């Protein structure tokens, strides 16, 4: 897929190892890593936009 021109092209690929969740021995661990990555990106975007959050 060509994401180069998309609005989300600067976001990190998750999970960080870029392996499909279905190939992980422990899929719960994959989803945990994805959730943590999404949280980190959301916090950074809010910080950049000066939004205070919970």
Q: Does residue 1 form part of some domain?
A: no
In this prediction the pTM is 0.78
pLDDT at 54: 59
Q: Does residue 4 form part of some domain?
A: no
pLDDT at 51: 80
Q: Does residue 18 form part of some domain?
A: yes
Q: Does residue 36 form part of some domain?
A: yes
Q: Does residue 27 form part of some domain?
A: yes
Q: Does residue 2 form part of some domain?
A: no
The Cα–Cα gap between 39 and 53 comes to 12
Q: Does residue 49 form part of some domain?
A: yes
Number of domains in the chain: 1
Q: Which residues contact 5 (CB under 8 A, 6 or more apart)?
A: none
Instruction: Look up residue 54 and give its two tokens.
Output: 């919970």
Whole-number Cα distances in Å, 7 to 10, 33, 52: 8, 22, 23
* pLDDT tens by residue, the chain, 54 residues: 677 888 888 888 999 999 999 999 999 999 999 999 999 999 998 998 888 765
Q: Domain residues for 30? A: 10-54
């Amino acid at each position: 897929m060509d994401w180069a021109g998309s609005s989300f092209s600067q976001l990190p690929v998750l999970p960080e190892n870029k392996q499909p969740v279905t190939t992980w021995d422990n899929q719960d661990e994959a989803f945990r890593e994805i959730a943590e990555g999404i949280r980190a990106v959301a916090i950074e975007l809010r910080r950049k936009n000066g939004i205070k959050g919970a």
